[in-house]
Amino acid sequence: MKIAFIGDIVGRPGREMLKEYLPKIKKEYEVDFVIANYENVSHGFGMTPKNANEIVSYGIDCMTGGNHSWDKKEIKTLFNTHEILRPHNYPDSVEGTGCKVYDIAGEKLAVLNLMGHYSMPYCDNAFSNAKNTVESLHRDGIKNIFIDFHAEATSEKRGMMMLLQGKVSAIIGTHTHVSTDDFQISQGTAYLSDMGLTGCRDNIIGMDKKAPLKQFFTGLKSHFDVPKKCKKILQMVILEINDGKCLSAFKIKQFDDGRIIKSDAWTEED
Contact residues for 66 (Cβ-Cβ < 8 A; gap 6+): 8, 37, 39, 87, 113, 115, 150, 174, 175
Catalytic site residue from 43, 68, 150, 175: 68
Q: Is 138 a catalytic residue?
A: no
- The residues annotated as belonging to the active site are 68
